[in-house]
Amino acid sequence: MAKYKYTTEFEVNASVNMLYPYFSTATGLKEWFADDVNMESEKKFVFEWQGELKPARMVIKRTNQHVKFQFDPVNEADEHDLAYVEFKMDYNELTQSTFIKVIDYSEMDDEIELDEMWGQFFDDLKKQVGA
């Protein structure tokens, strides 16, 4: 099945230093992004959503700037077109907010469903950080 690239951006009233661990650690990701997250090694994570395990590798980690997780292939077709989720952070000193660009490259292609899903994820994140 073909992949779909979904991009959105959220503003969170918190510093990048405060937010970065929520994107780069299993403990932080488990607080808002997945039902459970475990680290198997420094760069190998296993995400769980509704009982389904999704192994991924952290392929980009730039402190306080950028994190990207590339999911393991599910079948042969996936091997050359891997799904991923990417978070890019930019702090605005004027508004004292962090803008987080999300790039979700997966088989999910329903824009309305993706808007709702990511909106809920970021609502949960904002509750965690008190923003």
What is the average per-residue pLDDT within 21-44?
95
pTM given for the model: 0.92
Residue at 116 is within a domain: yes
The pLDDT value recorded for residue 63 is 96
46 inside domain: no
DSSP 63: T
Domain membership of residue 27 (yes or no) is no
**Residue 108: which CATH number?**
3.30.530.20
Task: Write down the pLDDT at residue 57.
Answer: 97
Write out the two tokens for 77. 């077709």
Establish if 8 belongs to a structural domain: yes
Which range of residues forms the domain containing residue 92?
Answer: 4-22+59-129
34-76 tens-digit pLDDT: 999 999 988 999 999 999 999 999 999 999 999 999 999 987 7
Tell which phi-psi region holds residue 22, choosing left (phi > 0), alpha (psi between -120 and 50) or beta.
alpha
Q: How many domains does the chain have?
A: 1
Residue 1 has pLDDT above 70, yes or no: no
pLDDT band for position 2 (cuts 50, 70, 90): confident
Q: Does the residue 105 lie in any domain? A: yes
pLDDT in tens, 67-120: 999 999 987 777 889 999 999 999 988 888 999 999 999 999 999 999 999 999
Does residue 44 lie in a domain region?
no
Q: Is residue 36 part of a domain?
A: no
45 inside domain: no
